[in-house]
Structure 1
Amino acid sequence: MNEETLAGAIAWTLTDLGVKRMFGVPGGGSSLDLIDASAKHGIDFVLSRTENAAAIMAAVTGEMTGAPGVVLTGIGPGAASVTNGVAYASLERAPLIVFTDAHEETAIAPPHQIFDQRSMFEPITKARCRLNAEDGATVFAELADMAIAEPPGPVHIDLSAKVAGTTVKLKSAETPEPSKQQIIGDLSAATRVIEATEKPVLIVGHQCRPQKRAEAAIRLARALNGPVMTTYKAKGVFPETDALFVGAFTNAQLDHSVLAESDLIVLCGVDPVEMIPGNWTHDAPVVVLSETAGLALPFVAAEAISGPLADIAAPLSETKVKSAWKPEKIAAHRDRLRQTIANNSTPGRSPDEVIDAVSAAAPAGTRLAVDAGAHMFSTMARWPAAAPHDVLKSNGLSTMGFALPAALASWLEEPDRPAVAVTGDGGMMMCLGELSTASRLSANVTIVVFNDAALSLIDIKQQRQQRPPLGVRYPKSNFADAARALGCDAWTVGAQDPLEFALSEAFETDGPTLVDVTVDPSGYRDQLTALRG
């Protein structure tokens, strides 16, 4: 047996799991031990300006790679500040390991910055633990495995500096036989239901983003030969240029106009967290295919099959379906959905105009990260996607302040692939300091700010409730000036200024760039009504 500090043993495990970088704002405790030990294993530490942004970057890295993302924070306020990003990982099913500095159990000092951190994380993590020197290496390895096990999610670890620096014995690595996930449910019954259908609709969810599952979902779509919809997180899993693709599924009123014509709805890899709250109004039977059993869906499934999605979809893809869908009908649905939520008739520059211009100017292969907010409707409807993770979005939590950290995570993982962050002014304010992180890293990231000086989505909801406009509007900010002050190149595009030139310059400039675009928000209310009623 070899000896190593516990921090070093943790670094060994992270290396074996394929972790290449960690994120965070370190405190003066165990986080310093972890940074030092991990650096010796070639694991970089990426300093962020906020713990929330660090957790989002780590969680998005976990989503893209399948290896757990790692975030480090200090004790007390650092731990408290990271919770929004951890909630993102929890609701979005992202593998994440959260290390927080912890006080020494024998400490006799006053309880400065000390509270029950594990209890705080309990609702938003799969497991929590305070590591000790005796079995810390083994317990950590078990927690890391738990983070990536279906459904993936965050685990929280309290670690004191004394324990992190304690010498422990490393046991010889033993590779256990991987346990095969069992298929639960009646595949034969599901096959019979599918064989009887003439007008099936397939809805593809975020569980299908891994490549093998994506390929299985595409084969199933071909067998069903009917309209295909994808959740926001699954955007790109089924190529949007394919004739079977009709649009996004969020459980909104507009989505149901397609489902109303079906005689069978098949959910493949859809998690209930991807659906906005609302009644399920369809009498057509539903077949649910999922990596995890016991999902809290808003209907009773005719058949529910859980297990490895690729294994489940394979026999179902051999089913002979006599689809009555006509290509022109599927195309009509696709065109109608796109036209219904169009937002391009405003007096000033419309959101549709901006996102179309960004899409046209962006280099081929650019990955999109989009923030929560009213601008998201046009962005998700109009940005083209052809593969999993072409678009990064917070859907389950729908947190603001997501787009820039997500774009930075994308660039760090694939530095040769450009990334663009589309955000509103509210979301930009929530992560403004990360522009300096982008500058420090010389990240090839372009940020496009839809600037309308309001929390527009909340403003719309306030208007619909016939309330006075209080608490949702504010003076317009100059994000281009702020970006330059933080080390980025930036352009301001006023209401009457040409947009294409600024976007072209931004995408051609090395390093982080920002384009601050004045947008007319007057069409958002009708757009939301068309989508959700």
Structure 2
Amino acid sequence: MKTVADLIITRLRDAGVAALFGMPGGGSNLDLIEAARRLGMPFVLTATETAGAIAAIAQAEISGRPGACLTTLGPGVASVVNGVACARLERAPLLVLTDSHSAATGNVFAHQRLDHHALLAPMTKWSATITADSADEIVEQAIAGAIAPPPGPVHLECPPDVTTMPFTGPGIRNQGPATPNDARFLVVGPWKTAQSAIARARKPLLVAGLGARRPMDVAAIRSLCERHALPAMVTYKAKGVVPDGDPHFAGVFTNGTIEQRIVDEADLLIGVGLDPVELLPRPWRSQQPIVCCGPWPVEARHVPFVAQLIGDLAVALERVDDALGESAWNLGAVGRTVAAQREAVSPATQNLSAHRVVQIAADAASSRARVTVDAGAHMFPATMLWPVSEPNRMLISNGLSTMGFALPAAIGAALFDQNSPVVALTGDGGLLMCVGDLLTASREKLRIITVVFNDHSLSLIDVKQRQRQYASAGVTIGDVAWRSVAEGFGMPAHVATTEAELERALLEALEHRGPSLIDARIDPSTYPETLRAIRG
């Protein structure tokens, strides 16, 4: 007899969910895990609830389908909050399944009782409690809500006396993955004014963001750049929409300083899937007009969009194409400016530096490995210097910019594509936040190479303290014997203090068929110069 738990898992599977992640308690968690086992959906135990959410987010970004995680009631829901916030600000479709006290007892028991809906409300697009008589409708509404533009997290409360009930609704059907299908256009602002600006522009600059990562959108962007000889910048999450090695690649856009020379040369900015959630929270300095084509409307309080054309990006870009005139860009000069940017984030040093770790790791692995990047000072050389040829080959938390992201994201990515290695670039502080998931990687035998930028400090915060002429305080982590930690979790590990040692460690790690860790002992003295180059 099919149960409500079977229905939930079947609907998730039909929507394209590849695995269920989390840290279970009792109650409905156990019903869902058992239903997943019966239906062939893997459940992956993670060290924390937030790690489960981030692993699911990684799979959602790679697949374009929803991810799913579960938590126990009370402390489990409280613990998953950062992961749900990550899904909200990274625009990732995530279903969060939480246990609760039974529906029959209501609010009788105070133990572990929190208002889960209220706790998650600021971060979720929608929240509901599963009931036996409307379970099918509720789950379908949740899936539709998660993938509707802009994608994001939804919450389903699953009472344990409901998930075990027989499902008495319509027969469970296989309807294929759910996809948004609304191809209509919404125009925000005076699009005729935007068209005139496009027609007048001789140096329009494309800025691709996280909303432009679907294959058909990528193809349309690349085609537009080629036909009109246009340069294109990408945000962190849009790395690979235009490959780093493409002659139209104009660098990374963050609303920072390093890209300003090319931005200032443009006479029009065309945001494609650009969401201001990705940009540095500093005033918008560009004086030229900016228009936007995107799959969802975005706020114009930070970025003063003249107009937005909302709908299918490939079709919207056809309208841009029709209005464009002849380009006056010199793509060779743009390429030389991008090369100068890379030089600016690669200061000379005699010691092992963060940018050299990135360059050496990229030389060894970028052609065959996906990379995940944690928040921290190492993020700047990583996003500038690691070449990416396709979208979602670099996974990073940008909207939330949370630490503790790279390793759980690598777990989700490595489980989704078990034929390719994943390189997780993380600081020592970020790894300490999710160190238990080294055991997850080891238990699942995943091909993850965790590269720890070990400088014994929260280096980015230390740099910011010094910029304000404060004493360095509260940022020293201390020395961690990362090789011993990794070996304690059952994986081989290496220590690299020189470039030659790093090259040997990477060679061995790439040949290994399971997880490994490289403790890269870096000199943080180049970080201030790198940060000045990028952010001013």
| TM-score computed with the length of structure 1 as normaliser | 0.96
Match of residue 127 from structure 1: 126
- Alpha-carbon distance between aligned partners in 1 of 2:303 and 2:517, rounded to the nearest angstrom: 44
5+ residue gaps, structure 2, are none
**Deviations along 1:110-141, whole A, 9 cap, x unmatched?**
41111111101000000111111121221111
1:495 shift after superposition: 5.4
What secondary structure sits across from 2:121 in the alignment?
helix
Distance 1:313 1:520, change over 3 A: same
1:400 shift after superposition: 0.7
**Deviations along 1:283-320, whole A, 9 cap, x unmatched?**
21111111112424523322321111111112323444
Distance 1:485 1:294, change over 3 A: closer
Contact kept, 8 Å, 1:219 with 1:317, in 2: the verdict is no
Match of residue 40 from structure 1: 38
1:496 shift after superposition: 8.3
Contact kept, 8 Å, 1:363 with 1:418, in 2: the verdict is no
Match of residue 392 from structure 2: 389
- Alpha-carbon distance between aligned partners in 1 of 2:301 and 2:62, rounded to the nearest angstrom: 26
Letter in 1 for 2:255: N
Contact kept, 8 Å, 2:495 with 2:501, in 1: the verdict is no
Match of residue 29 from structure 1: 27
What secondary structure sits across from 1:70 in the alignment?
strand
- Alpha-carbon distance between aligned partners in 1 of 2:42 and 2:159, rounded to the nearest angstrom: 21
Match of 2:186 among 179, 184, 208: 184
Aligned positions of 1:53-202 closer than 5 A:
53-107=51-105, 110-172=109-171, 179-185=181-187, 189-202=193-206
Contact kept, 8 Å, 1:223 with 1:318, in 2: the verdict is no
- Alpha-carbon distance between aligned partners in 2 of 1:365 and 1:103, rounded to the nearest angstrom: 47
Bigger drift between 191-200 and 505-514 goes to 191-200
Contact kept, 8 Å, 1:9 with 1:170, in 2: the verdict is no
Bigger drift between 280-289 and 429-438 goes to 280-289
Contact kept, 8 Å, 2:366 with 2:388, in 1: the verdict is no
**Deviations along 1:348-402, whole A, 9 cap, x unmatched?**
2111211111112227321010111000111111111111111111100111111
- Alpha-carbon distance between aligned partners in 2 of 1:109 and 1:485, rounded to the nearest angstrom: 44
- Alpha-carbon distance between aligned partners in 1 of 2:465 and 2:180, rounded to the nearest angstrom: 52
Bigger drift between 94-103 and 499-508 goes to 499-508
- Alpha-carbon distance between aligned partners in 2 of 1:97 and 1:66, rounded to the nearest angstrom: 14
Letter in 2 for 1:456: S
Aligned positions of 1:6-405 closer than 5 A:
6-107=4-105, 110-172=109-171, 179-185=181-187, 189-342=193-346, 344-362=347-365, 364-405=367-408
> Is 2:441 aligned against 1:438?
yes
1:256 shift after superposition: 2.2
Contact kept, 8 Å, 2:18 with 2:67, in 1: the verdict is no
What secondary structure sits across from 1:517 in the alignment?
strand
Aligned positions of 1:376-525 closer than 5 A:
376-494=379-497, 498-525=501-528
Bigger drift between 180-189 and 368-377 goes to 180-189
- Alpha-carbon distance between aligned partners in 2 of 1:529 and 1:293, rounded to the nearest angstrom: 33
Letter in 1 for 2:206: L
1:148 shift after superposition: 0.9
Match of residue 529 from structure 1: 532
- Alpha-carbon distance between aligned partners in 2 of 1:61 and 1:143, rounded to the nearest angstrom: 18
**Deviations along 1:406-462, whole A, 9 cap, x unmatched?**
111111111111110011100111111111111111101111101000000011111
Distance 1:174 1:372, change over 3 A: closer
**Deviations along 1:162-188, whole A, 9 cap, x unmatched?**
011111213155979975331122666
5+ residue gaps, structure 1, are none
- Alpha-carbon distance between aligned partners in 2 of 1:347 and 1:32, rounded to the nearest angstrom: 55
Contact kept, 8 Å, 1:226 with 1:330, in 2: the verdict is no
**Deviations along 1:480-523, whole A, 9 cap, x unmatched?**
11000001110112358722111111111120000001000011
- Alpha-carbon distance between aligned partners in 2 of 1:348 and 1:415, rounded to the nearest angstrom: 35
Distance 1:15 1:275, change over 3 A: same
What secondary structure sits across from 1:515 in the alignment?
strand
Letter in 1 for 2:229: N
- Alpha-carbon distance between aligned partners in 2 of 1:51 and 1:425, rounded to the nearest angstrom: 21
Letter in 1 for 2:131: N
Distance 1:50 1:504, change over 3 A: same
What secondary structure sits across from 1:499 in the alignment?
helix
Letter in 2 for 1:326: N
Contact kept, 8 Å, 2:429 with 2:477, in 1: the verdict is no
Letter in 1 for 2:148: A
- Alpha-carbon distance between aligned partners in 1 of 2:274 and 2:220, rounded to the nearest angstrom: 14
1:243 shift after superposition: 1.1
Distance 1:327 1:59, change over 3 A: closer
Could you tell me the percent identity over the aligned residues? 39
- Alpha-carbon distance between aligned partners in 2 of 1:132 and 1:350, rounded to the nearest angstrom: 56
How many residues matched? Answer: 530
Match of 1:4 among 2, 5, 14: 2
What secondary structure sits across from 2:150 in the alignment?
coil
1:346 shift after superposition: 3.0
1:332 shift after superposition: 2.5
- Alpha-carbon distance between aligned partners in 2 of 1:328 and 1:437, rounded to the nearest angstrom: 46
Bigger drift between 109-118 and 476-485 goes to 109-118
- Alpha-carbon distance between aligned partners in 2 of 1:178 and 1:486, rounded to the nearest angstrom: 42
What secondary structure sits across from 1:502 in the alignment?
helix
- Alpha-carbon distance between aligned partners in 2 of 1:439 and 1:382, rounded to the nearest angstrom: 29
What secondary structure sits across from 2:451 in the alignment?
strand
- Alpha-carbon distance between aligned partners in 2 of 1:269 and 1:363, rounded to the nearest angstrom: 25
**Deviations along 1:174-227, whole A, 9 cap, x unmatched?**
979975331122666544322211111110001111111111121222344232
Letter in 1 for 2:215: Q
- Alpha-carbon distance between aligned partners in 2 of 1:376 and 1:228, rounded to the nearest angstrom: 21
Letter in 1 for 2:233: M
Letter in 2 for 1:68: P
Distance 1:158 1:190, change over 3 A: same
- Alpha-carbon distance between aligned partners in 2 of 1:178 and 1:400, rounded to the nearest angstrom: 31
1:105 shift after superposition: 3.8
What secondary structure sits across from 2:168 in the alignment?
strand
Letter in 1 for 2:170: K
- Alpha-carbon distance between aligned partners in 1 of 2:319 and 2:401, rounded to the nearest angstrom: 35
Letter in 2 for 1:309: L
Letter in 2 for 1:214: V
Aligned structure 1 segments of 4 or more residues deviating by more than 3 angstroms:
172-179, 186-192
Distance 1:496 1:44, change over 3 A: closer
Contact kept, 8 Å, 2:371 with 2:394, in 1: the verdict is yes
- Alpha-carbon distance between aligned partners in 2 of 1:73 and 1:64, rounded to the nearest angstrom: 23
Bigger drift between 31-40 and 512-521 goes to 31-40
